[in-house]
Structure 1
Amino acid sequence: MLLLFIRERFAWIGFFIFIFTLLNVLFSLDVGLNSISIWYVNISLLVSFTLFFVWRYVNEVGKLKDFLGNMDGYLDEAHKNRLVLTPFQEACFQKIESVFYEKNMELNQAKVQLQEYSDELLAWVHEVKAPLTTINLLLEHIEDVSLRRKLENEWLRLHLLVDQQLHQTRLASIEKDNYLNEVELKPIVYKEIRGMQAWCIEKGIGFEVAELTDTVLTDGKWLAFIVRQILSNAIKYSPVNSEVTIFTEHDPTGATLLHIKDVGIGIPLEDLPRIFQKSYTGTAGRESSQSTGMGLYLASNAARKIGIRIYVQSNVGDGSLFTLRFPLQNEYVKLTGR
């Protein structure tokens, strides 16, 4: 802070050096001043300027630290009335207030517009889900099995995209929407597998599922969404007539781990750190027009907000292993106490 103050008052110091030098030159040139001690004058000037400089430093730096440490308070009218400012400081302060006011107005307007857009998008998604449900029911009446399977597969793709959009819109307010409690893994996993049935039949993909007797602390709806995204990736990148394995275990801390393993093309090492980034499709995703790069991004964000950690192990050609780690009781308490 001292160096900053010296730089700010460099003009003072320069002016003092100029006057100091000028007086010494005059004393040396004017014989009429020989009777006056030049040392007495120099010491007097130096002491006077030093005392003045220290006083100004203590006074101004103290006010600056107080101002910076209580910036929010100075925007309050009651506090501002007790603040003693110079005319220049008052002008700067009023300009800062004006900028803050304008930016706050713009920010509030942007928030309102964003909320309106979010509400409209949610309403649109819910409107789209109604005809999708109707179409799904009508598909059961198509007698041509081959045609029905193709239509069911396309319906599933459309349903997953709408579902992604719905959860992406809700993600910003997940804290208001989630409900953490004891949830059984088995019903959730089996429901999501049944939801992918048309896609699995088309590719000949089966599932090897363990007992899944574990009960975990989480939000059932958001957990289903996370499992759905990981399963859709496993099916998308698995070869035909392959198998996806789902099982659970416990880590050394006692936390439940849900594993979803496929034997697909795997993820290149250079892609692993980025697969949860928004819109990142990776090497494999560039070869598929179906990849949006949003599924794992949304799953990762939703998992983090409800205390689930997602880990990935993968090698090219050997498939991928996605692991969900659920919070323990004490971690759950910390999460709900945020």
Structure 2
Amino acid sequence: MLLLFLKERKAWILFFIVMQIWLNFILALDVAFVHTSTIYINSVNIILFILFLAWRFFIETRYLRKLNVMIQLEKQLDFDTLLALFPDGCTPFEHLFAEAIEEVVLKSREELNAVKVDFSEENDRTLIWIHEMKTPITAIRLMIDSIENPILQKKMELEWLRIHLLLDQQLHNTRLPSIGIDNMMETIVLQKIIHKEIRELLAWCMEKGIGFDLVDLEVEVLTDQKWFSFIVRQLLTNAVKYSDENTEIRVFVTRDQTGHVLLHIQDEGIGISKADLPRIFDKSFTGSTGRLTTASTGMGLYLAKNAAEKLGIVVLVQSELGVGTTFSLCFPLKNQFLQISSR
């Protein structure tokens, strides 16, 4: 901070040096000062100037020190408390600076609150629309079940499933910001969730001739059932979407050396290119693989990744073009879960 202060006051220092040079020039030329000690005068002036700079350094950096303390407390205190602690300053300029900052902060806060209100209202409207759509969707499902032509019934069921999955994706996208108050941690059996989600995709799987190989799924984990089901749904949907016809999707469980449970969903699809792999969890990113189908929205993996992080689940992926893709869900240990839930 001292170097910064000296740099800020370089005009003062330059002015003092120029005045000292001028003073010594006068003392050297004027015969009236022939017996005056220039060393004494220069020494006194330099000492007084250094004392003056030290005094100004203490006065002017006091305000900056208060600001630094407030910055260090930023993560520990709420916004209102921080605003109350904002230093007023001692000098007229510091008072003016503090007033300007407070005015800007208050105006920004008002605009932020307005944006939050608009966002909340938009979320509410979206949720209402989704719930309103469930009524005709349910009615369409009942109508599909009554169709006698099996070929037409399968086609209608497949289109219904696509609409259902898109609505479900939008519903969880809207609820994702409030996942912290929307979840309930409980012990669930992986096999039960996997079987349920596969049944939901049965029409799609039958159309493409895709089968499932389920291995060692009688494992219990601690998580939120609703959000975990959504994560599995997105990964299974991706596996079915990008799998070749008449192939198999393998779902199995392993444990790593530290005891973490890992759920793997492995397909034999077209795979993901190395260039796209680092970005597949980005919002709205479809990549070269996603462009092969108009059904890709680039939201499924983004939502699955964000929901998993909220639950303390790590999403891993391995893929090779032409070979297939394996998504893995690594569940936290009990002590890690307690740390996550206490945040």
Provide TM-score, normalisation by structure 2.
0.94
Report if the CA contact (8 A) 1:268-1:314 is conserved.
yes
SS at match of 1:257: strand
* Fraction of identical pairs, as percent: 48
Report if the CA contact (8 A) 2:191-2:217 is conserved.
yes
SS at match of 2:340: helix
Pairing 1:167–2:172 present: yes
Residue 135 (structure 1) aligns with: 140
Residue 76 (structure 1) aligns with: 84
| Counterpart selection for 1:123 from 108, 125, 128 | 128
Residue pairs, 1:15-34, within 5 angstroms: 15-34=15-34
**Counterparts in 2 of 1:84 and 1:248: CA distance versus 1, 3 Å:** closer
Aligned partner of 1:118: which letter? N
Residue 315 (structure 1) aligns with: 320
SS at match of 2:275: coil
What is the CA distance between 1:84 and its match in structure 2? 5.1
Aligned partner of 2:4: which letter? L
Residue pairs, 1:172-183, within 5 angstroms: 172-183=177-188
Aligned partner of 2:13: which letter? I
Residue 51 (structure 2) aligns with: 51
SS at match of 2:249: strand
Residue 11 (structure 1) aligns with: 11
Residue 78 (structure 2) aligns with: none
C-alpha distance in 2, partners of 1:245/1:88? 69
Residue 67 (structure 1) aligns with: 67
C-alpha distance in 1, partners of 2:41/2:240? 91
What is the CA distance between 1:67 and its match in structure 2? 3.0
C-alpha distance in 1, partners of 2:192/2:325? 23
User: How big is each residue's C-alpha offset from its partner over 1:112-144, in whole Å with a ceiling of 9 and x where there is no partner?
Assistant: 111111111111111112211111111001111
Runs of 4+ that moved beyond 3 A: 71-75
| Counterpart selection for 1:297 from 279, 302, 305 | 302
C-alpha distance in 2, partners of 1:257/1:51? 68
User: How big is each residue's C-alpha offset from its partner over 1:223-245, in whole Å with a ceiling of 9 and x where there is no partner?
Assistant: 11011001111111111111111
C-alpha distance in 1, partners of 2:319/2:109? 47
Residue 272 (structure 1) aligns with: 277
C-alpha distance in 2, partners of 1:281/1:138? 34
Aligned partner of 1:62: which letter? R
SS at match of 2:136: helix
Aligned partner of 1:285: which letter? G
**Counterparts in 2 of 1:274 and 1:84: CA distance versus 1, 3 Å:** closer
SS at match of 1:49: helix
What is the CA distance between 1:101 and its match in structure 2? 0.9
Residue 36 (structure 1) aligns with: 36
What is the CA distance between 1:75 and its match in structure 2? 3.2
Residue pairs, 1:101-116, within 5 angstroms: 101-116=106-121
Residue 201 (structure 2) aligns with: 196
C-alpha distance in 1, partners of 2:236/2:70? 51
Query: Unpaired segments of 5 or more residues in structure 2?
Result: 75-80
C-alpha distance in 1, partners of 2:140/2:89? 71
What is the CA distance between 1:279 and its match in structure 2? 1.0
Relative contact order, CA 8 A, sep 6+: which one is greater? 1
Pairing 1:156–2:161 present: yes
Query: Unpaired segments of 5 or more residues in structure 1?
Result: none
C-alpha distance in 1, partners of 2:142/2:308? 32
C-alpha distance in 1, partners of 2:5/2:216? 70
Report if the CA contact (8 A) 1:217-1:328 is conserved.
no
Report if the CA contact (8 A) 1:185-1:212 is conserved.
yes
C-alpha distance in 1, partners of 2:212/2:82? 63
What is the CA distance between 1:58 and its match in structure 2? 2.5
Residue 241 (structure 1) aligns with: 246
SS at match of 1:61: helix
What is the CA distance between 1:63 and its match in structure 2? 3.2
C-alpha distance in 1, partners of 2:82/2:163? 54
Residue pairs, 1:250-269, within 5 angstroms: 250-269=255-274
| Counterpart selection for 2:95 from 90, 93, 96 | 90
Aligned partner of 2:44: which letter? S
How many pairs were matched up?
335
C-alpha distance in 2, partners of 1:165/1:150? 23
Provide TM-score, normalisation by structure 1.
0.95
C-alpha distance in 1, partners of 2:67/2:324? 58
SS at match of 1:189: helix
| Counterpart selection for 1:329 from 306, 331, 334 | 334
